[in-house]
């Protein structure tokens, strides 16, 4: 990486390395730079095949264009190793909304619609987002009510095996509650896998947590297979019945019982309810009658 990007501060660390806030000196904007664990990526050990695969990954990510997908700006391999440069966005994570504010029923509809649209766009380029979690989606407030949801960490399903030397899908998520049974079984992910992960993420948001949140991957797998998950109505009795049914299909343990595709899942989302706000209504001033006017003259 040349002097174009000037690192400012560390934003965080994860399984895929460190993320730094930086200044793009060429265009005068903030960007996020991801660097990878040095112990896994000694430059001398980067074989030509690995470098070609990494650059192909960058090419695929750079072709993605959707308002709910974090935009890839740049990437490559320099003397410090591989790096990715993405747009820097500010907002709240879904964790902030789930635990700090009221997540309304209508928010679940909007989250489902926006994220499925983004997942479809990613799938067209061969990407499946297997790392969806309450911290991998940023919610940016709209000028009106509601949020625009932006998916981060796309490409982890291909990147993490390159970094950690494993292709097993179960390594993609740190949240066993969101782990699709077929991922645990070592099968290839597809659009039905995306349905399961998103469905359980929506359940998580509505319930303010997940009943399987403290379980191990094996325990969550067994509970999912046994169908032990309580209805979302246990936590949110006001959720419309048609949306409950839609969500139940999304989170079926058997992939064959889910929607045939993300497109079908998107088309099946019911019409959202009206958004209600718990605010006092200020009534207009009481009208003055002609008799009142005459009395004051």
Tell me the pLDDT tens digit for each residue of 14-69: 767 789 999 999 999 999 998 876 545 555 556 777 888 888 888 989 898 899 99
d(CA 107, CA 113): 10
Burial of 18 (0-12, 13-18, 19+ CB in 10 A): middle
* Residue 76, number of CB atoms within 10 A of its CB: 14
The four Cα atoms 11, 96, 265, 217 give a dihedral, to 10 degrees, of 70
223 vs 190: which has the higher pLDDT: 223
pLDDT higher than threshold 70 for residue 297: no
Map residue 240 onto helix, strand or coil: coil
User: Which range scores top for mean pLDDT: 149-158, 167-176, 258-267, 283-292?
Assistant: 258-267
**Residue 142, φ and ψ in degrees, nearest 5:** -80, 165
The structure tokens 């064959």 sit at: 256
Show the tokens assigned to 10: 């560390």
On whether the CB atoms of residues 140 and 97 are closer than 8 A, the answer is: no
Model confidence pLDDT, tens digit, residues 100-131: 566 788 899 999 999 999 999 999 888 888 88
d(CA 39, CA 99): 36
Show the tokens assigned to 15: 């399984």
Q: What is the pLDDT of residue 257?
A: 97
Provide the pLDDT confidence category of residue 159 given band limits of 50, 70 and 90.
confident
Helix, strand, coil proportions of the chain in percent (round to 5)? 40, 20, 40
Beta carbons within 8 Å of 256's beta carbon, 6+ residues apart: none
d(CA 129, CA 165): 19
Q: What is the pLDDT of residue 173?
A: 59
Q: Give the predicted TM-score (pTM) of the model.
A: 0.82
d(CA 88, CA 138): 11
pLDDT higher than threshold 50 for residue 77: yes
């Amino acid at each position: 990486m040349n002097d174009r990007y000037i690192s400012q501060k560390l934003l965080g660390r994860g399984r895929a390395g460190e993320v730094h806030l930086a200044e793009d000196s060429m265009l005068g904007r903030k960007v996020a730079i991801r660097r990878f664990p040095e112990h896994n990526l000694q430059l001398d050990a980067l074989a030509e095949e690995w470098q070609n695969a990494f650059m192909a990954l960058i090419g695929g990510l750079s072709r993605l264009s959707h308002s709910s997908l974090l935009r890839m700006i740049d990437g490559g391999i320099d003397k410090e190793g591989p790096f990715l440069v993405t747009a820097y966005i500010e907002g709240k994570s879904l964790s902030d909304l789930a635990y700090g504010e009221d997540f309304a029923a209508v928010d679940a509809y909007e989250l489902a619609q926006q994220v499925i649209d983004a997942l479809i766009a990613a799938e067209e380029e061969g990407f499946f987002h297997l790392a969806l979690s309450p911290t991998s989606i940023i919610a940016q407030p709209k000028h009106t009510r509601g949020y625009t949801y932006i998916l981060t960490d796309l490409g982890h399903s291909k990147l993490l095996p390159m970094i950690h030397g494993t292709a097993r899908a179960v390594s993609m998520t740190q949240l066993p509650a969101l782990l699709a049974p077929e991922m645990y079984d070592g099968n290839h992910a597809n659009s039905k896998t995306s349905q399961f992960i998103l469905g359980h993420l929506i359940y998580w948001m509505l319930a303010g947590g997940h009943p399987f949140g403290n379980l191990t991957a094996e325990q969550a797998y067994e509970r999912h297979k046994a169908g032990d998950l309580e209805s979302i109505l246990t936590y949110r009795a006001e959720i419309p019945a048609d949306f409950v049914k839609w969500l139940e299909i999304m989170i079926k343990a058997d992939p064959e019982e889910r929607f045939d595709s993300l497109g079908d899942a998107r088309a099946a989302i019911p019409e959202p309810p009206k958004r209600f706000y718990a605010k006092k209504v200020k009534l207009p001033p009481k009208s003055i009658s002609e008799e009142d006017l005459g009395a004051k003259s």
